[in-house]
Amino acid sequence: MGSCEKHTIIVGTVSVLQKQALFGSPVTFWCKSLAMNEINNSSRSTPSAYRHLEEVVGCKWSVSVLIAIADGIARPGELERHVAGISKKILAERLRKLTLYRLLDKHVYAEVPPRTTYSLTANGQKLIEIISQIKRLDSQIGTPQ
């Protein structure tokens, strides 16, 4: 029983290895770290599409970037100048996330110097429509007095 593989027999949803690591049975350090990684990875669930949407809509930078791209501003430098207060780092992160969430398409041109542009996907276009509806509702409601 010296090998860690012999400890990984699954009992229910928690393996023997995890139980030993948690409850102090003598196992090797490697087995303990493997068990803790299994526990940490199993506790994380894959974020739902709604969680992704929540992260996008809840971030003022994401919404501002999406609106700017919908208005025809497609290059990162132009976006940085157009979206007041956004840093290069935040812009790069938001563009990466919005592309990952399939709200933007990234187009890289094989030129010197390299050129990159972004455009809305069909889902990005739908989200822009919803944001526009929210803006119209806000203007109809007016500001509280």
DSSP 8-state symbol, 106: E
User: Mean pLDDT, to the nearest integer, of 42-60?
Assistant: 70
Band of the pLDDT at 79, cuts 50, 70, 90?
Answer: very high
Is the predicted pLDDT of residue 18 greater than 50, yes or no? Answer: no
**Nearby residues of 119 by Cβ (< 8 Å), 6 or more positions away:** 69, 74, 104, 105, 107
Band of the pLDDT at 45, cuts 50, 70, 90?
Answer: low
In whole angstroms, give the CA distance from residue 121 to residue 25. 53
What architecture (CATH level 2) is domain 49-141? Answer: Orthogonal Bundle (1.10)
Domain with CATH 1.10.10.10 in the chain: 49-141
User: Mean pLDDT, to the nearest integer, of 98-116?
Assistant: 93
Triad 16, 18, 24: Cα angle to 5°: 95
Longest distance between any two alpha carbons in the chain, whole Å: 73
Q: What is the pTM of this model?
A: 0.63
